[in-house]
Amino acid sequence: MARLVLCTLLVAALASLVGCSEAAPQRRKRKPVDRMVFHDAPEENAYERIPLPPQRVRVQARPNSATVGNVAGAPTFQMPTPVCQPPKDQPSKSIGPPTDGQLVDACRIPCQGPGYIAVSPNAFGTDNTVALLQLAAAQVNQQFQGVPSVVVGAISAENGGFLKPHKSHQSGRDVDIAYLRTTKGQPKRFEPTDASNLDTERTWAFLEALLSTGEVGWVFMDYEIQALLYEALLDNGWTEQGLAPIFQYPAGANVARGVIRHATGHADHFHVRFRCPERDKPECVD
Ligand SMILES: [Zn+2]
């Protein structure tokens, strides 16, 4: 009980520090002018509002190509059971699109678990969202020992609906996650991330664990950070062809390509949007 109270207090204290991401992009340093042109996106956060592509992207064992769509031979992913706090009996239900949705019988992700800490009070997701986050965090935790935990920020409010300051995050399927960084110590909040401190290996391991499930609809990520990951993967034996279904980079920050897309305000965290759970369709809208 004492631990629970402590945990709750800690979450409340951290939440006041974190506020999730898009709340404070103005505090980041502006990039030099030439690089701003490089980032020229047609509309701020345009991808927050567009529907998902019809095909799933599934990453297979690296450095193999990404597989687009549910092709024959692709392994069938078995959704794990989430750990919710408190435990619950009813399955969750995601209703509507991420920008105008609701969430019923949400799973609250515990404030910590193997490989992650969850620092936002808006820690309510679908069962699938929480299960997938816990799966990816545990895999990275196993792969890289003695490293800081992944910092999970806002998912949705308990019953979904509008969540200031986000456009989406309304139906339990959007998650903000801090980039995994090379800096020492356990981060408690999102920090501006660039070539000097991005841990490309661990960040990709986390993303790869999610992408390999075929359950990711979009990842919103600053174009320059896409470039850092992309180049690191090429150095690791991936091919441009293999990365094309995954990354928008290097096609351009306003080009409709890949699952990972540029959106403003995503230099200190990335945003993962999961697809609708099959059982929630058709009320759930991708
Ligand atoms: Zn977000």
How far, in Å, CA of 231 to CA of 268, rounded? 19
- How many A from CA of 22 to the centre of ligand 1? 7
Choice among 52-61, 92-101, 125-134, 214-223 with the minimum mean pLDDT: 52-61
- How many A from CA of 176 to the centre of ligand 1? 5
> Is residue 207, in this structure, part of any structural domain at all?
yes
- How many A from CA of 265 to the centre of ligand 1? 9
- How many A from CA of 166 to the centre of ligand 1? 7
Q: What is the pLDDT of residues 211-243, one digit of tens each?
A: 888 889 899 999 999 999 999 999 988 888 888
Judged against a pLDDT cut of 90, whether residue 206 lies above it is answered with yes
- What pLDDT was estimated at residue 60? 58
- How many A from CA of 28 to the centre of ligand 1? 17
- How many A from CA of 97 to the centre of ligand 1? 14
Domain of residue 83: give its range.
2-22+33-280
How far, in Å, CA of 249 to CA of 226, rounded? 6
Per the structure, the count of domains in the chain is 1
> Is residue 77, in this structure, part of any structural domain at all?
yes
- How many A from CA of 174 to the centre of ligand 1? 6
**DSSP codes, 120-161:** -S--EE-HHHHHHHHHHHHHHHHHSTT-PPEEE---B-TTBS
- How many A from CA of 239 to the centre of ligand 1? 29
Q: What is the pLDDT of residues 118-142, one digit of tens each?
A: 999 999 999 999 999 999 999 999 9
How far, in Å, CA of 37 to CA of 43, rounded? 13
- How many A from CA of 183 to the centre of ligand 1? 23
The answer for residues whose C-beta is within 8 angstroms of residue 235's C-beta and 6 or more apart is none
Judged against a pLDDT cut of 70, whether residue 49 lies above it is answered with no
- How many A from CA of 20 to the centre of ligand 1? 8
> Is residue 261, in this structure, part of any structural domain at all?
yes
What CATH number is attached to the domain comprising 239? 3.30.1380.10
- How many A from CA of 169 to the centre of ligand 1? 7
- What pLDDT was estimated at residue 33? 31
- What pLDDT was estimated at residue 52? 56
The answer for residues whose C-beta is within 8 angstroms of residue 114's C-beta and 6 or more apart is 134, 137, 138, 141
- How many A from CA of 73 to the centre of ligand 1? 33
- How many A from CA of 273 to the centre of ligand 1? 8
> Is residue 199, in this structure, part of any structural domain at all?
yes
- How many A from CA of 49 to the centre of ligand 1? 12
- How many A from CA of 50 to the centre of ligand 1? 14
> Is residue 27, in this structure, part of any structural domain at all?
no
Average pLDDT along the chain: 81
> Is residue 85, in this structure, part of any structural domain at all?
yes
> Is residue 286, in this structure, part of any structural domain at all?
no
CB 271 within 8 A of CB 56: no
> Is residue 68, in this structure, part of any structural domain at all?
yes
Judged against a pLDDT cut of 80, whether residue 174 lies above it is answered with yes
- How many A from CA of 31 to the centre of ligand 1? 21
Q: Which single residue is written with the structure tokens 């897309």?
A: 261
- How many A from CA of 21 to the centre of ligand 1? 7
